[in-house]
Structure 1
Amino acid sequence: MVHKAQATAGCRDVTLPASGDVCAPVLALRQAQATAERRDVLDADLHEAESQLRLLPSVMAADPQADTAARLISWMSFGLITVTSNDIHLARIAGMTLVPQLAGLVLMLAATLCQSRGQSA
């Protein structure tokens, strides 16, 4: 009779169903060890990335274009119109939602005018 360790080559060559049952705990431990080693590599990479990130300057303004536009409008109106960057954000959203809808309305008007010209001729 062949010894179990010899039949599986130290649980590296699991070919028999009986050897799979014997080597299951060993294979589970090897998988856990590989997972732990990969986690250690990822932790080291993460620590290195965090240390490089600390060296970068912090971002002060969320949207410098909106801040600049708000200051420009206040400057051009000599301070009579006070606009915040939040107002610029809302104006952008309104433009992105209303302009496509207005285009659809103009298309409907053009189609109506074309139909009314066709009927009158």
Structure 2
Amino acid sequence: MTLTLSTESASSERATLYLHGRLDAQTFGELDLAMLDLLPRIAEGGTLVLDLSALEYISSAGLRSIAKIRKSMRAHGGHTLLLNPQPQVRKVFEIVKAVPVNEVFTSARELDAYLDNIQRRIMDGDDQEP
């Protein structure tokens, strides 16, 4: 199985990367290369959404790639959010505690509600994350 990546950039403030297939020792380099192009296009303080709904498998190499993405986004005041991981992928994150639970969402609707809440809090003068 291979890894297929596709992106959707609604704005420089938020981009979505769709991962399809397997993220493992044979494919993590594809993700790393794609990030070299995508991350610089996301504005300071922006959000990168990784849609994992079609990701069937993740290995430790894939976890390292996602950790590098999160580190890079944080260095620029941004966020990395994971959307709709399949149960087996979510279980890997839970086991290794690779991603805080509040950054994993079961649907786009849940993600949008989270993002709406953050924006509402900032507009109300409370810029602390929920």
Using the size of structure 2 for normalisation, the TM-score is 0.19
- Relative to its length, the structure with more strand (as a share) is 2
Using the size of structure 1 for normalisation, the TM-score is 0.20
Kindly indicate whether structure 1 or structure 2 has the higher relative contact order, using CA contacts under 8 Å at least 6 residues apart. 2
User: Is the radius of gyration larger for structure 1 or structure 2?
Assistant: 1
